[in-house]
Chain A
């Protein structure tokens, strides 16, 4: 009976169901399987705005402290209590052994997590993983490698191309062995498409710039954004439009000088591109500025939300931002410098009131914290493996 309903109705009913239930429903009948695995339905389900969660990637002590530590992925509710939603088992060694000891969460989009094995050594190993349905795809080796192009620096971005309904990984590569005119334009790019399962070179980025370390990107407005270093020691934000596959320069706030750790982000409501930057005052004290771009691509519209001075009794703790919360607050890590602390403090900052609240993450060292929503994406990808 349900499969004889008009599509709008069966989609409406099914899109309200939790994912575990939908997976069970795929074994109810073949017509139901085909409704649920349909990419149109997967997007309908995604659009229904289920609970906003947070993906925490951390290192924690095992149940008994004598047993050492373990790498953990957990989902939390994005509420004041930061309640644990569920713990995720990711059997990564079924797929590949990361040469850097662990993967890095490089980006998240529509419930897909892009993992990269590039913390120190460039393994050129990437995985697209959906922790909710426990499926993953290993990417093939990219085109720009040490063997083919010599030494390089690289950085990846991950996003969704709405025109072709395809998830893409974009890799920026700054080649170090170029000479003459080529050396002025050292950055090239390539794009991986989930739909085709392969990398394709985009050639030169076309704007003189350099990537110099693994840099968090931001996917916003159909574009992937990175802070890049312009050849003449300035910085700008490089934006890649996934639809037109073109690069463009977005200028940083007037009068700022970005620092090494500057990074782009997106506000919690998804409405604005944001920028975290540090600057030093004349006493060499570092301040964290959080900027928001009120009108996309309009340099004059950069608005400073807050300037955060160093924290701690001696003013020596530099805050490191993780991400915005749906409420507009910002997750920050406060960690003592020059001293390896096993436990750092995670706080939630309200940029308006400037109030900071501690977030209890149970004595774990937080690698990354990003907003996340559950989805069925990858359910319709035949070569996705269970993990």
Chain B
């Protein structure tokens, strides 16, 4: 299979399998515009991200074979869970954010699906405080404003499934 060469922002070069390269809408556009023998520059992608993306994609292909799931059907639960089981524990929140941006920039739909799922799973049972940390947002409510929401929707703030 033909290999496509890319260079990341920190100068490292990677040779991608053609089928992986074509999953990236961004790379595909570049290939259509220029010759396939040229190296494609990816100034918004770091080398550690590229390594991860290749790792992800290899897993996706493996799961495709295992579950017999075609590309467009990858929203299936088992597929998302298997991907999560493999990668979730070694991915910090910050790394997950970076990868989300990068995969979005590269336009790799199937990986975006999986990463959004990972992000959502991390959020699900968190308390409000933990969510603030996870999302990296400022606490911009006054105590009175926050208390009003909690009172209006008290049922949403209780429950055994919410982690401390």
Contacts and interface: CB of A to CB of B under 8 A. Distances in A.
Interface in A27-64: 27-32
A20 B159 contact: yes
A28 B152 contact: no
Given A9-B116, A134-B155, A25 B131 contact: yes
Chain A contact residues, majority secondary structure = helix
A133 B117 CA distance: 23
A29 B156 contact: no
A340 interface: no
Interface string B106-135: 000000100011011001111110011001
A342 interface: no
A31 B137 CA distance: 9
Contacts, number: 79
B33 interface: no
A141 B119 CA distance: 46
A2 B135 contact: yes
A14 B122 CA distance: 11
Nearest to B100: A9
A27 B141 contact: yes
Contact of B116 (A16, A23, A24, A29): A16
Nearest to B131: A28
Given A20-B159, A26-B149, A1 B128 contact: no
Contacts of B125: 21
A184 interface: no
B79 interface: no
Contacts of B101: 5
Contact of B123 (A1, A12, A13): A13
B124 A29 contact: no
A21 B124 contact: yes
B interface residue count range (under 10 / 10 to 19 / 20 to 34 / 35 or more):
20 to 34
B116 A12 contact: yes
A25 B137 CA distance: 11
Residue with the highest number of chain A CB atoms closer than 10 Å, among B124, B135, B139, B146: B135
A6 interface: yes
Given A27-B150, A28-B131, A29-B132, A17 B120 contact: yes
A20 B132 contact: no
Contact of A29 (B104, B138, B152, B155): B138
B136 interface: yes
Nearest to A22: B156
B67 interface: no
B140 interface: yes
B137 A3 contact: yes
A315 B34 CA distance: 78
Residue with the highest number of chain B CB atoms closer than 10 Å, among A12, A20, A27, A134: A27
B117 A28 contact: no
Given A17-B123, A28-B137, A29-B140, 5 more contacts: A9-B100, A16-B116, A17-B124, A28-B131, A386-B152
